[in-house]
């Protein structure tokens, strides 16, 4: 283990609040006891208030005021970080190896009581997400570096259903967004001369270039992504009212959906009213509503009822062939 890691480990041990001997430290870290003395001296020289007590019940400890200072994590902070790490791993966090190293340190440098508490909290904490493609990890790592260091990257990118026809592009990654179990990069595309969203899993190859870019300080990848996902309505007078009744739990689920919830106008115990543009009302919405079966019912507009009947009829014809 590197010197800095060993010194940090000693600091964690001393932070437990109980005395510990140089022999115990050397055994736990598997280093020579003389090395322990050198590390203790180095910590003292850096200003760490280490108390050394001689005798049969002697050992090293930290000054109490230093233990209570917010230098190291308390048990609640450790629990929060470890549980957040579980969520990050399931989302395909690009720096997973570094994350594993960090969480192992949090567990390793906890006293026995803390280890028990952390184990109990982690044992009942699970996150289940869509199984990701492990081959995407190098792409995410390269994108993360490019975003942080303002490097343009060259990518081979394919659109949906056109994997055999990938396009070579140079992009300036402005940010990364995790949405609906998928990773995206928001980047300026040199080919299209505009800012676009790119699905990370559709990037077949990625290579850093020597070119650097400068993005606007007030640019937000999140705001750009959400604005494209849910653009502002220009003609509010042209919105159509959609009234749906149904079981309360089905309406709850419908109203919490990212798209439908954005257009929700009014909600009662057995009814929900939405305001939608005609295009989305007759294209995306019918297919989405069919997944709720008979748990909901469209009251108006009649045009949507007709569209639902047409979609179901097409499906019947398709499967009766």
Q: What is the rounded (10 degree) CA torsion for 270, 273, 274, 278?
A: 110
User: Residue 12: what pLDDT?
Assistant: 80
Q: Is 57 exposed, middle or buried (0-12, 13-18, 19+ CB in 10 A)?
A: exposed
What is the C-alpha separation between 136 and 143, in angstroms, rounded? Answer: 11
In what side-by-side order are the strands of the sheet with 194-199?
194-199, 182-189, 167-179, 151-157, 203-212
Give the length of the chain.
321
Topology of the domain covering 137-229 = SH3 type barrels. (2.30.30)
- In a 10 Å sphere around its CB, with 0-12 CB exposed, 13-18 middle and 19+ buried, how is residue 256 labelled? exposed
Q: No. of H helices and E strands in the chain?
A: 14, 11
- pLDDT recorded at residue 68: 54
Q: What is the pLDDT of residue 75?
A: 82
Query: Token pair for residue 157?
Result: 């990118």
Q: What is d(CA 186, CA 174) in angstroms, rounded to the nearest whole number?
A: 6
The pLDDT value given to residue 54 = 83
Q: Note the pLDDT of residue 66.
A: 64
**What region, left, alpha or beta, does residue 92 occupy, with left being phi > 0 and alpha being psi -120 to 50 degrees?**
left
Q: What is the pLDDT of residue 294?
A: 95
Which CATH code, of 1.20.58, 3.10.450, 3.40.50, 3.30.70, is assigned to 236-320?
3.30.70
- By DSSP bridging, strand 194-199 and strand 203-212 are unpaired
Topology of the domain covering 3-68:
Arc Repressor Mutant, subunit A (1.10.10)
Q: How far is CA 186 from CA 26, 197, 199, in A?
A: 49, 5, 9
What pLDDT is recorded for position 65?
57
Tens digit of pLDDT at every position of the chain (321 positions): 677 788 888 888 887 778 889 999 999 888 999 999 999 998 888 888 888 888 777 899 888 756 555 556 778 888 899 999 988 888 888 888 888 888 887 777 677 788 888 888 888 888 887 777 778 889 999 999 999 999 999 999 988 766 668 899 999 999 999 998 899 999 999 999 999 999 999 999 999 999 999 999 999 999 999 999 888 777 778 899 999 999 999 999 999 999 999 999 999 999 999 999 998 999 999 999 999 999 999 999 999 999 999 999 999 999 986
Residue 233: which region, alpha, beta or left (left: phi > 0; alpha: psi -120 to 50)?
beta
């Amino acid at each position: 283990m590197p010197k800095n890691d060993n010194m940090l480990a000693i600091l964690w041990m001393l932070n437990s609040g109980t005395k510990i001997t140089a022999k115990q430290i050397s055994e736990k870290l598997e280093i020579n006891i003389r090395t322990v003395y050198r590390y203790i001296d180095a910590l003292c020289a850096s200003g760490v208030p280490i108390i050394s007590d001689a005798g049969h019940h002697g050992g090293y400890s930290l000054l109490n005021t230093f233990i209570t200072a917010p230098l190291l994590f308390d048990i609640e902070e450790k629990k929060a970080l470890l549980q957040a790490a579980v969520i990050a791993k399931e989302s395909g966090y690009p720096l997973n190896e570094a994350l594993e190293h960090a969480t192992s340190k949090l567990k390793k440098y906890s006293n026995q009581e803390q280890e028990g508490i952390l184990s109990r909290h982690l044992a009942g904490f699970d996150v289940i997400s869509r199984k990701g493609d492990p081959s995407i990890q190098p792409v995410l790592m390269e994108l993360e570096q490019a975003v942080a260091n303002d490097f343009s990257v060259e990518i081979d990118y394919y659109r949906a259903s056109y994997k055999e026809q990938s396009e070579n592009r140079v992009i300036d990654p402005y940010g990364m967004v995790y949405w609906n179990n998928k990773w995206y990069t928001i980047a300026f595309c040199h080919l299209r001369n505009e800012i676009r969203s790119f699905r990370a899993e559709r990037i077949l190859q990625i290579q850093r270039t020597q070119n650097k870019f400068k993005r606007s300080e007030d640019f937000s990848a999140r705001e750009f992504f959400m604005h494209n996902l849910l653009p502002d309505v220009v003609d509010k007078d042209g919105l159509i009212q959609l009234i749906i009744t149904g079981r309360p739990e089905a309406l709850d689920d419908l109203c919490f959906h990212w798209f439908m919830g954005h257009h929700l106008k009014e909600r009662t115990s057995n009814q929900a009213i939405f305001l939608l543009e005609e295009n989305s009302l007759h294209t995306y919405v019918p297919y989405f509503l069919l997944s709720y079966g008979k748990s909901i019912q469209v009251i108006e507009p009649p045009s949507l009822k007709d569209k639902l009947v047409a979609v179901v009829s097409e499906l019947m014809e398709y499967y009766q062939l």
